[in-house]
Structure 1
């Protein structure tokens, strides 16, 4: 007779450790072992007999024989996969804990007395994430089954509330109609490289073998418990968890995404580039995960993925910059010297002939996921503590800072230092026609702003400023990433509309100008 059992895990987790396996060395038991199922059914038989008194030893013996002599196969959900490992300390005994020695403020060695407390042990809990709406199916086939035994099995399965660890809640029911679904995992006696061992009862397993507790002397030293044997299973290939592809032409677009900045220690204005670059890199990894099912950097992504991210990163699949400024640009609003808001928008020139309107749904979702974890502006290996900031998404109705709205101004002041794209010759000799004012005028003219009558003047002393360093150039020279930045004031002949962001690393928060006298914001 063939039976089909349907097992679900309401919390989406199956916690169990295979026999004789160290929890630190395994992802958890998968597929569930028939040995565990048989022991669970026997335990529920005792509960059923205690509640109703309808059971007897002969019925239990027949049930054990029917289960042990049956063959097992499974339908395992292809989307199931190992979950994130849980680790926690648990008490293992109460007693005297030895003291220790330390040094006091005077540098003298003093003894810390011992005390009575619980000792702790690190416990690892591995589990499999199982879809709640897609059950595991057990295909059981045996010659010992009778209608009466099947009815007893149903009564036992009704009382199963957990399977594996006690926090692995589960329900098991027999399917009345087992048609329409075929097993995708079977058990064999011979293993292979990709096969996993599964503990099964032998055909002649005794009731006493199946009822042994784990601290039984016969089990502690046994590689295989009495009445059990190893079979081997080849689980089905996991289905990649790809997000559905959304075509660019059908996506809704958001003009601007804003985040409030919360921090205990505010970063200096000169290092904001590192903060915004971290946010951009995280968003790129979230986008690659959407397209490929794995989180990788832009350079390691497949070519078709890099092509999809062209308008976000500002370069094509070959790494060549796009013509015009059509990529995502990150702005940081500053008040009283501290960042208060991050603004992300599509960096289009206000005077460009063509313009891509805003960020699409997938880019916005990636930014929200990237901002869900704190950001740090300290460099890798730095001696400075890893200070961080937290970002809180703002509603679309939040007003834009001055310089990003539709207002105009005649005088603009640096919020973050302007870093020239052209550097001086050796020994600080300035190139002909490459002074700071000339570079500002040239860049403004290329982007369509009026430069006739423009006055460029220094509003403060120059200062070292962190800039974006391409990954291929990060080891070329010492102190790479710091450039001389200039605090400037721009006076136009007529009022102009912003935002104005110029110079090197303008995408990452360097070279923003805001209307002088308005709220200060940076990009």
Structure 2
């Protein structure tokens, strides 16, 4: 597993608890001094995409049974992977001692969640293209802001706590690779909600709850058990991983309730205004072809929407163009990394996307390029607000200085003494509610490869495609650096073709 470092997650709101769980927490260290409250290590797990894809050990993937709560054995294996791949400076002896202490079955605080699934026909890698097997990918769906709290009733030294903190920050997913997550070890001063899922007590399951088997590490667990690969377990014929045990847990009866989670998501989540699509393929398109790719994404999204969409198309029901100050969709190709080739397409609409429009964008899975270029794979990365992408792309930054990233194409031909390129930029800014810049400085081209390079390192504006397919040639393309008297929040999209990737401005430090 290739985990990567992640930033800390925010804590979710407390979830109602079941009385039996509090009793269980007090019983874990019943043998200790009665005056001393046992230490509890609390770990917060947040799934960034709102999905947890994992199949319990004793079930086949096509049975459609999700793992919930997260198996402690799975968490310890993920921490072990982070130890070897992301924490080379960590003392192995201290880290392994920390993992051995976590063999105690933890308690969980589970947020509201539901079950979902997708169906895939996976190729059998034969010459016959239709030779495919149906695979059901079942997952637990929850609000991407909600947090699963894991309470381990153990005492850790300061060194062991630091080791756990470093390993937790090195875990980027749990279960299947698409279950992106952030894991944080909470401080003692942080709020900790009461557990609502705990090992079954001798009195049996509480009223309104259900008993489930959860795979936990055994007291006899060795470090080598955590390091075994799934292929080695299958090759050696193990029906259960060595160093594990099954523990019966008392889980709330409504822990996976479709009705409650659907109402919660509808009531609390506003319409997203940004959708991020990731591009893949053998050869990614050049960023200078932004207009061509933007048109293809728009056409693909409209073809997957069952009814005419004002937001996605930018046209009213009678076919006329909208006059609402550009609140409909902008299709914005984005180049990250080297900057020369497109890696993502951001779809931004100030009006927000409805549920059906979100579904249409999620169904865009490929783009068939023209002129015998290879087909592009498309994957929806997620939806969000403009602020959610501030640290992802400079298009949504906040700054007093902004620079053209794609050419600003004039809306009308300049006339003597009127409608000069600078005047058209200022007019476009006023029409979109931006303040008047104190300076509008012409620049020679886009700095795609090296922002610090001089004029020799820029991509000239004439190298960009500035005409939509089947349309006439616009008056011309220019680039500018804008300086505002106060910070301005992006995106800044101006001029002809601004809904198709032209006229982009990026925030400068």
TM range (shorter): 0.3 to 0.5
TM-score, length basis structure 2: 0.40
**Larger Rg, first or second structure (1 or 2):** 1
